[in-house]
Amino acid sequence: MPAERVILLRHGESTWNADGRRQGQLDPPLSAVGRAQASAVAGALAEEEEAIAGIVTSDLARARYTAEACAQRLGRTPEVDARLREMDIGRWAGRLRREVDAAEPELLARIHAGEDLPRGGAECLADLHARVASAVHEHIEACPGGTLLIVSHGGPVRVQVASLLGCEGLDAHAIERPANASRTLLARAEAGRWRLVCHNYPPRPAPNP
């Protein structure tokens, strides 16, 4: 019996998240804040989600540490799947966001306008969607019912939401980028379809007026 619910969990804050540095598929560790976030979300899941039947994680350290913290509290062994990695952003990886913004404003403007161009000369959104969607649907079918916890990254969370809702053509920018250690929950609805229950929980703090 496949999973009936899916929790998409973004990893805790990494040292490069704290620095404002683009990560892609490079592998910085969690910061002290990120480790605390991983511990907190693991505790919350242990209290709230008794029906978690499986855990799968990206192989990158920031996701894997977050998944392992959850697994210890839930009494599960996480399965590692490299298809759940963040988007490969090529030459942008490791650079400060402001540096990339200043160096390639025309390319970024085209991407933000809806063109699906390779990020940093590497993957485009369609590439990310294809590999992440194949992994997600495979793990959902293999899960023995209950809830499947998937630990990954901001980009993969967005395309997982689009894929499960059947919105393959949806630009990921239309979905709010999940905060570190936030959860997105989807549940099966009628006719085998999926319903978005909540996204980016706990939500980001409201901006100052």
Mean pLDDT of all residues belonging to the chain: 92
Q: Are 135 and 83 in contact (CB under 8 A)?
A: yes
Q: pLDDT value at position 4? A: 94
Q: Rounded distance, CA 59 to CA 79, Å?
A: 9
Q: pLDDT value at position 205? A: 56
Range 12-29 average pLDDT: 97
Q: Are 196 and 161 in contact (CB under 8 A)?
A: yes
- Selected catalytic residue, list 11, 129, 139, 153: 11
Catalytic annotation present for 49: no
Residue percentage of the chain with pLDDT more than 70: 93
Q: Rounded distance, CA 200 to CA 8, Å?
A: 9
Q: Rounded distance, CA 82 to CA 114, Å?
A: 27
Per-residue pLDDT reduced to its tens digit, 100-141: 999 999 999 999 888 999 999 999 999 999 999 999 999 999
User: What type of residue is 145?
Assistant: G
Domains in the chain, CATH or no CATH each: 5-88+124-201 (3.40.50.1240)
Catalytic annotation present for 11: yes
Q: What is the pTM of this model?
A: 0.94
Q: pLDDT value at position 209? A: 43
In the predicted structure, residue 37 carries a pLDDT above the cut 80: yes
User: What counts of helices (H) and strands (E) characterise the chain?
Assistant: 7, 6
Q: pLDDT value at position 203? A: 64
- Selected catalytic residue, list 13, 86, 123, 199: 86
Q: pLDDT value at position 166? A: 86
Q: pLDDT value at position 164? A: 92
